[in-house]
A and B are shown apart, each in its own frame.
Chain A
Amino acid sequence: MKIGPFKIKRVHEFLIERLIQVTAWTSIVTIVLIFLFVGKESIPLFTHPEVKQEANISKLFVPQQYSPDKPPKSVWQPVSTVPKYSLYPLMVGTLKATLIAILFSVPIAIAAALYTAEFASPRAREIIKPTIELLASVPSVVIGFFALIVLASILQTVFKLDYRLNGINAGVALGLAIIPVIYTISEDALISVPRTYKEASLALGANPWQTAFKVVLPAAFPGIAAAVILGFGRAFGETMIVLMASGNAAIGNWDFTESLRTLSATIATELAEVVHGSAHYHVLFFIGVFLFAITFGINFLGSLFIARFKSKLSGARS
């Protein structure tokens, strides 16, 4: 009789344990399945003769000659008598938006992280940290709408730009979305720098500013680098903000004041109505694979930096 409840408890524990295990594995399986499905839909680009004729890897990445008297061009113009599928303008557009976002958000986010980790009074920190993190919960469509209606007009009057919706507008809006990502991870990295570092620095006569800039910041560098990389990954794949704020013109140059079109926004706008099974359809899925691979790589790199940072600090402690 005494063994009974004990056994039941064991059964419960066993079941719950398995349940949690299944949940964990489900998410991994889901990701693998998503990747497989998206990958499968892009395979006809390599195998299907008709699709291959209209779009293949060299057409996606190498400039093409469309008229005999003009030099080869890289153009994204999938709906045309001669469909043009060059990904170059889209890649340039994505990089332009992401670069501006990083340039705009990194200084702000790291400065804010340094302030709350090193200088702010506990009360100020209590207010600032959650507020910045709250920015992460603003839906990206709201940020995009704000950029489309308000930010674009402000930037145009301040910088006297020809294009109202342009790379700078999209980049700054994107920057707003990744500030919380970079801030939170950087702040964690700065906080977890051991007290002994600071105490040693202060004991040697350095003032708080010198300590913060020359000791704490370098010690937390791998963590901050990880923050920037993860922010980059987020900006790279972000869709709604750039879709609304960038103007979506597939121009393949590095002029930041012109409109741009990103890889993710292209999928979002064109997949809804594309003819199922056409070359255009498969190219869009290929872009999906391409985006997935890049963001996966970036996030992997970020995690690697965080792991290195943790082992470095714990190694220093012992």
Chain B
Amino acid sequence: MNTDKTNFRKKVIALLGIGLFTFGLTTLSLAETLSVKGSDTMVILGQKWAEVYMKQNKGVTVQVTGGGSGTGIAALLNGTTDICQASRPMKPKEKLDLKKKRGVDAYELSVALDGLALFVNNKNPLQELTISQLKEIYTGEVTNWNELGGPNQKIILYGRENNSGTYAYFKEHVLQDEDFTPRTQTLPGTAAIINAVSKDVKGIGYGGIAYGRGVKFIKIKKDAKSPSYEPSLANVENGSYPISRYLYWYTAGAPKGIIKKYADWVVSPAGQSIVKNVGYYPLPRKTNLTGKKK
């Protein structure tokens, strides 16, 4: 009876000790906080990186927020963020502003690749489309497949919800910031779109390449004269596939200390494996270890 009690007491004390120890560790570690801000497209990617990195490196806190690439760059100029995530390269004027304001050069690091695949039902005979044809389809100017050389049937449009980065990217790069036609059906996630298109002979949809099974990918041409490319990883990597882009990180001056450690980890194979899980493309091997400085 008595030993039971002392055992119990020992356990309680041990537990308390462990608790205090962890508490102490977390308080100590609060000193190392990193802030990451920028592109809404990259928020999820940034958060996933932060989550895994924080799990592996107890004592580092990474805060990730969105707001848009422009917001992130502005924050970098004002010194309110350590790392800026951007889904477009920084403009020359913005680089100049940074030099003026903070006295350092912008340091650019490509962290991932982003590309979009267009797909139709397997029964659809269409092989290739130009970017401007895609724009006409998704703004509702072209409504029948026969206008594109396909069979005489309606085009049924599938797309992503307006909160997704894919939606924003497609709108910006393919529709040139025009609105999607209201007839675009929006489904939660690329997998749902693929499923819908695989069952709909009149359907067309877009999404990440990694998801595609059971549908036919459309080859994309930049314009009527240029050659068409299929959305393979190789074509995205060498930049010949027209709807792809790099995603960037920017810091004010070359990263140092904890920021450098984090940036190195992000472009390392460990960091790049997360890129794939989130639905983007890992960097081509060559640029994997060295960021480009501009």
Contact = CB atoms under 8 A, between A and B. Distances in A.
Interface of A: 75-81, 84, 89, 148-149, 152-153, 162-165, 243-244, 247-252, 258-259, 261, 269-270, 272-275
Given A79-B171, A148-B192, A250-B182, 20 more contacts: A77-B162, A80-B179, A152-B199, A153-B199, A164-B200, A165-B196, A244-B188, A247-B185, A247-B186, A248-B161, A248-B186, A248-B187, A249-B185, A251-B182, A259-B183, A270-B161, A270-B162, A272-B163, A273-B43, A275-B67
A270 B161 CA distance: 8
Interface string B156-181: 10000111100110010000010110
Contacts of A261: 186
A250 to B, nearest CB: 5
Contacts of A79: 162-163, 167-168, 171
B9 interface: no
A249 B183 contact: yes
Nearest to B160: A269
Contact of B156 (A81, A89, A164): A164
Contact of B202 (A89, A152, A162): A162
B182 A249 contact: yes
Nearest to B161: A269
Contacts of B183: 249, 251, 258-259
Given A270-B161, A275-B67, A76 B182 contact: yes
Contact of A164 (B40, B43, B188, B203): B203
B44 to A, nearest CB: 9
A249 B187 CA distance: 9
Nearest to A246: B185
Nearest to A252: B182
B195 interface: yes
A248 B185 contact: yes
Contacts of A244: 188
B184 interface: yes
Main secondary structure of the interface of A (DSSP, over half): loop
Nearest to A73: B182
Interface of B: 40, 43, 66-67, 154, 156, 161-164, 167-168, 171, 177, 179-180, 182-188, 192, 195-196, 199-200, 202-203
Nearest to A163: B156
B168 A164 contact: no
Nearest to A272: B163
B155 to A, nearest CB: 10
A141 B164 CA distance: 21
B40 A273 contact: yes
B190 to A, nearest CB: 15
A160 to B, nearest CB: 12
A69 B40 CA distance: 34
Contacts of B177: 81
A75 B202 CA distance: 25
A168 to B, nearest CB: 14
A305 B164 CA distance: 44
6 contacts: A76-B182, A162-B156, A247-B187, A273-B163, A275-B40, A275-B66
A152 to B, nearest CB: 8
A270 B163 contact: yes
Nearest to B180: A77
A272 B203 CA distance: 27
B25 to A, nearest CB: 31
10 tightest A-B CB contacts, nearest first:
A273-B163, A247-B185, A79-B162, A248-B186, A249-B185, A269-B161, A259-B185, A164-B200, A77-B179, A80-B179
Contacts of A275: 40, 66-67
A244 B109 CA distance: 39
A269 B163 contact: yes
B199 A164 contact: yes
A153 B43 CA distance: 36
Most chain A CB inside 10 Å of its own CB: which residue of B163, B180, B195, B202: B163
B68 to A, nearest CB: 8
A274 B185 CA distance: 19
A149 B185 contact: no
B271 to A, nearest CB: 23
Contacts of A165: 185, 196
Contacts of B196: 164-165
A87 B89 CA distance: 36
A75 B187 contact: no
B154 A162 contact: yes
B118 to A, nearest CB: 18
A81 to B, nearest CB: 5
Nearest to A153: B199
Contact of A243 (B182, B188, B195): B188
Nearest to B158: A247
Given A149-B195, A153-B199, A164-B199, A269 B186 contact: yes
A270 B164 CA distance: 9
A259 B192 CA distance: 15
